[in-house]
Amino acid sequence: MTKSEEWAYNLCRDSFFSLFSFVNPIGKKGKELCDVIIICGKDIVLISVKEININLTGNYEVDYNRWNTRAIEDSVKQLNGAERFLNTVSSFKLKGSEEDIELPIEKNFFKIALVIGGRGKFPILESIRNNGYVNIMDEVSFNSITLELDTITDFISYLREKQTKLSNVHFTGNGEEDLLAYYLFNEFNFPDKTYLIFDEGLYKSLKKDKFFIKEKEEKQESYKWDFIINHSAQNHFAQNGYNTKSLNSLMKAYEIMAQETRFERVKLINNLNEVIKTNVRARIYFSPTFNHVIYVFVSGKFNNQKERLKELEIRCMVAAFLMNKSAAVIGIAWEIQKDTEVYDVAYHNYNNIWNDKLDKSSLIAINELEYFKKHYDRIILNR
């Protein structure tokens, strides 16, 4: 892996977590498909990284054609080949690994040609419509996009909006970071137009805007959500290793949590903080992104982790009993231990498995342990 490829992969990993980002996928006969692949649900992002620095001859047309061929045309060819191959298989391997990475049955592809070394020397096309839409980005624009759209859902939503509305649109500006600024200014939307014109340096102006700065500051607390995912995952791996029966269910929880947008994470953390900072022992909260997902937040003092997890698990069951017996329930328990914040995560998908035994266990927990008893009493009262 070159330094440029490693840089691009690290940006993706840090923004979207390693759950979704993979480096150096290979196809037939071990041939590298692209440099980075991101998989989230049925959405697949393919990234080809090319750092091309040519010796300038003084003939601009000759120099540009040489650079364009090696940096852009070769990337587009590689990306289209990767898409064709991945459309024919159900899984793939990574270079140096025998593990199969599963692909979704239905696939939506987004392609990015990341060209490094051309800014200030040659013009960067905004996109190429060649066997599908290919985004052309340089190191500045790609860094800006992953910085501002630092959740997998926000990132893919930008690519989808751009691909849907701008497939036949040309825009003028300094670079794609200005298009990003336009997108952010317009509340994560592009207008239905055929030509977009915006001031050069729009992104630089946006970063100085007092309202934008204030909004970024207000989102800082939401990064606690990111911390919970990483912290609980690392704790699980440290205690149980990577090959455990519970890993698959927890991975599903982390995937769902990581698909919440930055805006939704603000709401989620606000609700979690209300539990942490008040006398409320636990709260049920519906996912703002997934209508089949329920979150259970628990906070308090526990004798040990086993006790904390046991209460969390039982409360997850009761939440499903009260709200939706076919729901996927993600529980998050919080506690302070020796001035350190400790989190546990639990996951249960009750779809097609709910039975009379779970009904009885839930009623016992409600009546004897008083778990979400007020919720239950309100439901009975309103029947």
Least confident span in 58-62, 240-244, 255-259, 300-304: 240-244
Which amino acid does the sequence have at 166? L
Which tens digit of pLDDT belongs to each residue from 206-237? Answer: 999 999 999 999 999 999 999 998 877 766 65
Q: Is the pLDDT at 134 greater than 50, yes or no?
A: yes
CATH class label, 3-208: alpha beta
- Cα(302)–Cα(130) distance, rounded to whole angstroms? 59
Which tens digit of pLDDT belongs to each residue from 333-345? Answer: 999 888 888 888 9
Q: Which residue has the higher pLDDT, 197 or 317?
A: 317
Q: Is the pLDDT at 285 greater than 70, yes or no?
A: yes
Q: Which residue has the higher pLDDT, 244 or 74?
A: 74
Residues 35, 24: contact at Cβ < 8 Å?
yes
Altogether, the residues listed in the chain come to a count of 383
Going from N- to C-terminal start, the domains of the chain cover: 3-208, 222-381
Strand-pair category, 133-138 with 108-116 = parallel
Which amino acid does the sequence have at 316? C
Which amino acid does the sequence have at 146? T
Q: pLDDT band at 279, cuts 50/70/90? A: confident
Q: pLDDT band at 68, cuts 50/70/90? A: confident
- pTM assigned to the model: 0.88
Which tens digit of pLDDT belongs to each residue from 150-179? Answer: 999 999 999 999 888 877 666 655 678 888
Q: Is the pLDDT at 243 greater than 50, yes or no?
A: no
- Cα(267)–Cα(269) distance, rounded to whole angstroms? 6
Report pLDDT for 45. Answer: 95
- Cα(343)–Cα(312) distance, rounded to whole angstroms? 11
